[in-house]
Structures are given as C-alpha cells and as structure tokens.
Structure 1
Amino acid sequence: MAQMRIGLQMYTLRTETANDFTGVLRKVAALGYEGVEFAGYGGLKPDELAKLLHELNLVAIGSHVSIEQLMNKLDEEIEMNVAIGSKYVICPYLEEQRRNSEQAIAETLAVFKEASRRFADKGIQFCYHNHDFEFTEKIGNSLLFDNIVGDTTAEQIAIELDVCWVKYAGYDPVAYIQQYAGRIPLIHLKDLRITEDGKPLTVELGNGEVNLHAVIDAAGAANVNWMIVEQDVCQNPPLESVSTSMKWLREHYLNK
C-alpha cells in the first residue's frame, strides 16, 4: 500500500494569503506540506503560479471551483489548472437553490457533467466536496449525497470526502470511505469538537472527536491519494494551526 501524500487546503489561510499570497505559500512549503489545494490563485497568472510552485517544490493537488465559475469561467479554470499541473478540480459547495429540488439537482448535475467532460479532456478529474447538509437533506427518499454521486459515474464525479462534516451529520466517515472505495482520491482530514450548544468547532488534528487513526487506515485501504488538511475556522493563529496539524501527522502517520 502506497503512502498517502499530505496536502493543505489554502482556504485555511485565506486571511494570510489575502495579504501575502506568495509569502504564505513559501511558509506552507517550509512546514513540510507536499502539495496545496487552491481556493483562489492570489491574482497570479497561470505561468506565474506554475513557476512559483516549481520553485517551492509544491504539488498543485487541485482547485476548489464554485459552480458559478464552472458555468461562467470554465475556460479560465481549465487554463489555470492545466498550467499548474492540477490532477483534480473540485466543486466545494452548493447553495440551497442549486440543491433543493429534483429539478435543481438535475440542472446542477448537468453543469457538473459538462465541466467533468471538459476537464477530463485535459487529464483532470472532477470531484465533489461535501459538507454536512448532503447527509441531512433529502431529494425524494434519498440523501442528497446519494443523489449527487448515485446519478453519476465515478469518471464523471469522484469524491473529496470531508470526514469532519460526515461525522457532524451523524454518520461514520470510515463506513463511507469503505463504501466508496476507489471513488475517493482525496479526503479532507479535519478534526471536530462539538460545543455545549451543539455547534461544530473545527480544531487541529488530534484535538477533536474524529477517529483520525481509523479514517487514515480506511483511506489507505481505499487507495486515497491525498489527505488534505483543512480547518474551516482556526482557534489559534492559522499558520500555527496548520503547523500543529502537520506535527500530529508526522508523529502519527509520516514517521510510523
């Protein structure tokens, strides 16, 4: 079993990158992350970002691209992700109006399928990233998650499973990794603590309630390629948080 690679979703550092995109990428590389997943490109042109990634020896895992971008700026997203060498492009979220009926889901999936076809022509796999609502909302008698992945093929839509939000919705992320083994090239490795009033609090790896060891074992068995650290809201300075999570991974995964 090949060792999974470790990446960082740059959304975690959105405040820092807004001030110094290039400098923050340098710090991420220095922390030991092998790759990054983008949520915006810091205003850099495709060739500029490609040159910077090469200089830092960072892999462009892929990019989070909104459905609006897929609909209105698909050519630009293809150009950027081809230039930086992305293997994946991921839709990270669906607003309510794009998921709240059978017609809305049908229209959304039509956008996904066309984008997937265009990305596939360039060797890029299209994926969908979940939150908790995919496991709490239904279309007909089926969970929204099952509508999205059940009405498409693995080639059309692969899964970037966010284990934190599966857990928060009341499901077992390990069971979903096992169920969709071979269709999950990426996971968001994220820890979670539930507050006294029932709200989700994203925390550094090892500081929450997700059984990360079981998730990592299941992901390895399911041939996941990348474990991507993401913390939606950091409880400490974000660069400190992603450093803490990397230290946990070194202790519990990389150096085992």
Structure 2
Amino acid sequence: MLKIGLQLYTLREELEQDFEGTLRKVAELGYSGVEFYHFFGRTAEEVSALLQETGLVPLGAHRPYDAMLNDTEQEISFNLAIGNRNLIVPYLTEEQRNWEEAVKGLRIIGEKCNAQGAVLSYHNHDFEFTEQFGGRTVFDGIFEEVPAELLQVEMDTCWVYYGGYDPVEYIRKYAGRLPIIHLKDMRKREDGSAETVVLGEGEVNLAAILEAADAAGAEWAVVEQDYCSRSPLESVADSLKWIKAYANQGGKVHV
C-alpha cells in the first residue's frame, strides 16, 4: 500500500520564511513523509530533531547534480544523518545534457551511494521524453545505460504524460525499480504549456497511476505542485483531501 509524502519544493516560500513551522504544518495536514530539496542552513542534528518531533519520515532528498558529483561524501553523510537513504538527482540543466557524460556521472555517484548504503535515483521532467539518446527516449537511455543497482527511478508521472507518453505503461515498464513516484496534476494552457494544479483539478488520470504504482511495488507517492494559483499550503491540503477520497473508494494508499 502506497504511503503519501510531499515534495517540499511546493512550499519553498513558506519554508524560507519558517522552516520549522512549515514542516509542523505538513505533519498536521496528515502527510506521512517529506522529500527535501533544500535544508535552509539547518544542521543534520536540527533537521533530525524536527523530524522526530513531527513524526515525518524523510523519504528522499532532491540534491543538485553538481553537488552530488563533486561533494558526494558530504551529501551522503548529511542525508544518512537525518535518516534519509534516498538521494535524487532532480534536474539536469541544458549545459549538463551531454547524455554520455551524464550517464558516466550518474554511475560514479551511484557507486559511491551504494558503497555507503544510500540509494541514488533520477527524477525526470518532460525533456527526457521529447529528446533522444542513442535512438531511445533519454529516459529509457539513462536507465538502460546505468544498471538498477546504481540508479533507481523516481518517475514524475505528470511530466511523462506531458511529454506525450502513458505514465501507466511506463510505471509497468519500470516495476521493481520504482520506489517513489511523483503524483502531480496539470491542465494545458491555450499556448500548450503545462499549468500544475491541485490533484483532481486537471487532466491526468491519477487513480490509474496510483493503482499501477501500487502494483509495481512503489513505496511512496509524493505530491508535488510546481506552481500554485492559490496558497501553496491550501493547495497541498486540498490535494491530500483528493487522496483521502480516493482511499475511501478503495484505493490502495495509506492515509
């Protein structure tokens, strides 16, 4: 049964103003875990104490590719100290998208994570589906070139959809290598760009995604809304309400 977490990037402005208070609010809303993207200068001891106080599970952390490549030991040790084993490369800039080089870098990072009992994952956007690498989508190319023991999949299902592919099919394809999915909803603006919205207010088939993720052995479904048209805290609260309604209809999520 899927556990429900929140990618804290959604609440970046709130965290910058009040890191501790915002995490306490996330726990009060009923999220089981959090995925970090920044620690706002807090020490591992401070973060660990806050997690213990709130009961939130540190399910993962998005860390910049350059930091993961150049300061690997520091990144791993900090995250292990707060109880997080999942280190995730969240994004590659256009300058970093030499895919042969990126694959080499991910292998190096993955080996270092492996050696210390941490797990490296890669989180996609839409360009991994619209660009090619060796006659395949970049997404498939990365995960074919780097073995599963060195790199796991953190699939952002909304960006798979926006990239023109069926997220349910991709979840099935990567079953067993997919500990975390990002659950995100969107609708297309008139110019074709994506507007991220509260769960259930867009066009993504979220119920089918959750069902497929549970069947594929995923542990966490992580709510994320890149940009919110109303209060981000209100938005993540409403997204959790949608998940609870899904659970009440027999959906396999733990809330």
TM-score range for the pair, normalised by the shorter chain length: over 0.9
CA distance in 2: counterparts of 1:140 and 1:97, whole angstroms? 18
CA distance in 2: counterparts of 1:254 and 1:134, whole angstroms? 35
**Stretch moving more, 246-255 or 196-205:** 246-255
TM-score (norm 2): 0.95
Give 5+ residue unaligned stretches, structure 2.
251-255
CA distance in 2: counterparts of 1:122 and 1:31, whole angstroms? 34
1:220 and 2:214 aligned: yes
Counterpart of 1:113? 107
Q: Which of 5, 24, 38 is the equivalent residue of 1:26?
A: 24
TM-score (norm 1): 0.95
Counterpart of 2:73? 75
CA distance in 1: counterparts of 2:95 and 2:142, whole angstroms? 15
Name the SS of the counterpart of 2:233 in structure 1: helix
Q: Given that residues 82 and 122 in structure 1 are in contact (C-alpha distance below 8 angstroms), is that contact kept between their aligned partners in structure 2?
A: no
The letter of the residue matching 1:154 is A
User: Which aligned pairs between 1:134-145 and structure 2 lie closer than 5 A?
Assistant: 134-145=128-139
**Stretch moving more, 86-95 or 105-114:** 105-114
CA distance in 2: counterparts of 1:122 and 1:134, whole angstroms? 29
Counterpart of 1:235? 229
Counterpart of 1:184? 178
Give percent identity, aligned residues only.
Answer: 48
The Cα shift of 1:140 comes to 3.6
User: Which aligned pairs between 1:167-182 and structure 2 lie closer than 5 A?
Assistant: 167-182=161-176
**Stretch moving more, 222-231 or 144-153:** 144-153
Per-residue CA deviations over 1:72-122 (Å, capped at 9, x if unaligned) read 2222211211011113110000111222xxxx2222122211211222223
1:155 and 2:149 aligned: yes
Counterpart of 1:52? 50
The letter of the residue matching 2:85 is K
CA distance in 1: counterparts of 2:133 and 2:3, whole angstroms? 35
Counterpart of 2:61? 63
CA distance in 1: counterparts of 2:69 and 2:134, whole angstroms? 26
CA distance in 2: counterparts of 1:254 and 1:125, whole angstroms? 33
CA distance in 2: counterparts of 1:220 and 1:140, whole angstroms? 31
Q: Given that residues 139 and 147 in structure 1 are in contact (C-alpha distance below 8 angstroms), is that contact kept between their aligned partners in structure 2?
A: yes
CA distance in 1: counterparts of 2:50 and 2:249, whole angstroms? 28
The Cα shift of 1:8 comes to 0.2
The letter of the residue matching 2:129 is F
The letter of the residue matching 1:19 is Q
1:39 and 2:37 aligned: yes
- Go from structure 1 to structure 2 and tell me whether the alpha carbon gap of 1:117 and 1:140 turns closer, same or farther (over 3 Å shift): closer
The Cα shift of 1:139 comes to 2.3
Name the SS of the counterpart of 1:198 in structure 2: coil
Counterpart of 1:209? 203
Name the SS of the counterpart of 2:59 in structure 1: strand
The Cα shift of 1:152 comes to 1.3
Instruction: Indicate the RMSD between aligned Cα atoms, in angstroms.
Output: 1.1
Equivalent residues, number: 250
Name the SS of the counterpart of 2:18 in structure 1: helix
CA distance in 1: counterparts of 2:64 and 2:92, whole angstroms? 8
- Go from structure 1 to structure 2 and tell me whether the alpha carbon gap of 1:160 and 1:254 turns closer, same or farther (over 3 Å shift): farther
Counterpart of 1:131? 125
Q: Given that residues 160 and 186 in structure 1 are in contact (C-alpha distance below 8 angstroms), is that contact kept between their aligned partners in structure 2?
A: yes
The Cα shift of 1:253 comes to 2.1
Name the SS of the counterpart of 1:224 in structure 2: coil
Q: Given that residues 106 and 146 in structure 2 are in contact (C-alpha distance below 8 angstroms), is that contact kept between their aligned partners in structure 1?
A: no
CA distance in 2: counterparts of 1:225 and 1:254, whole angstroms? 19
